[in-house]
Structure 1
């Protein structure tokens, strides 16, 4: 998703939520609407707990088997997002949150996003990520070349 869409979404989602609140509230009443919002938050927290612990169990089994739980890690992030969306008051965010709790929907989101994500290993230095960048020179001293004492001839000594 281009970053230029983020300000648009920050404006569009609350406006959509306000519109849906007005539409639902005019049909079923204010208290029933507020009750639905609270109920979806409670259901979301229960689903987050159940699916989160289930996912942690699957991840532990993958790690114990010597495998990297890549798919489960992505699903874990989406389940966390689903929980946040369900705890956020609103019907649009609740709908998106409930959809993220469905494993088939999460797989679809992952298939869509997988080709758009670039993974950089954590151990890579900046120069290794950018082939055109200059590499830093490493100086390796042997034991006889290194002394730990003060050098009075050094420009960084306190005597100068």
Structure 2
């Protein structure tokens, strides 16, 4: 877990800085800043649209008496995408936009569901060992 935290809080910002410097040398510093602002704006706009669509689906399911499980997962992923998009940088912006796009968001949901199922299976195995 410590390694994952190290990667998130140290390595990713260093890579972002390196990439921003490299892009800045190619397209210029001002254009690089504009690119980061543009991706942030597009991300905020897209997050708003996807969030509203998810809320509409959630409300419709609740009105029909259905459990809106998929919509709740979508809402969490859209929230995470918004948080990632707040971080200045190109890699985090691309990752945030991928989380917002429904096609890739569904792939992330499948991966998360698989990981959750593996963790649940592992916990069940550990619980049965102690009984």
Same fold (TM over 0.5): yes
Distance (whole Å) between structure 2 residues aligned to residue 10 and residue 68 of structure 1: 36
Aligned partner of 1:25 in structure 2 is: 24
Aligned partner of 1:116 in structure 2 is: 115
- C-alpha deviations, 1:4-42, integer Å up to 9, x for none? 422223211101101110110000000011111111111
Distance (whole Å) between structure 1 residues aligned to residue 94 and residue 44 of structure 2: 14
Cα contact 1:62–1:69 (8 A) shared by 2: yes
Report which of the two structures shows the higher radius of gyration computed on alpha carbons.
1
- Unmatched runs of 5 consecutive residues or more in structure 1: 121-129, 134-160
Aligned partner of 2:63 in structure 1 is: 64
Instruction: Please tell me whether residue 41 in structure 1 is matched to residue 33 in structure 2.
Output: no
Aligned partner of 1:80 in structure 2 is: 79
- Unmatched runs of 5 consecutive residues or more in structure 2: 121-126
- C-alpha deviations, 1:74-114, integer Å up to 9, x for none? 11111111122222210010010111111121111111111
Go from structure 1 to structure 2 and tell me whether the alpha carbon gap of 1:65 and 1:3 turns closer, same or farther (over 3 Å shift).
Answer: farther
Distance (whole Å) between structure 1 residues aligned to residue 93 and residue 114 of structure 2: 27
- Helix, strand or coil for the counterpart of 1:89? coil
Distance (whole Å) between structure 2 residues aligned to residue 17 and residue 111 of structure 1: 27
Cα contact 1:44–1:87 (8 A) shared by 2: no
Distance (whole Å) between structure 1 residues aligned to residue 2 and residue 50 of structure 2: 30
Using the TM superposition, give the Cα deviation of residue 3 of structure 1 relative to its aligned residue in structure 2, in angstroms.
Answer: 5.5
Instruction: Please tell me whether residue 11 in structure 1 is matched to residue 10 in structure 2.
Output: yes
**TM norm structure 1:** 0.69
**Where has structure 1 moved over 4 Å in runs of 4 or more?**
130-133
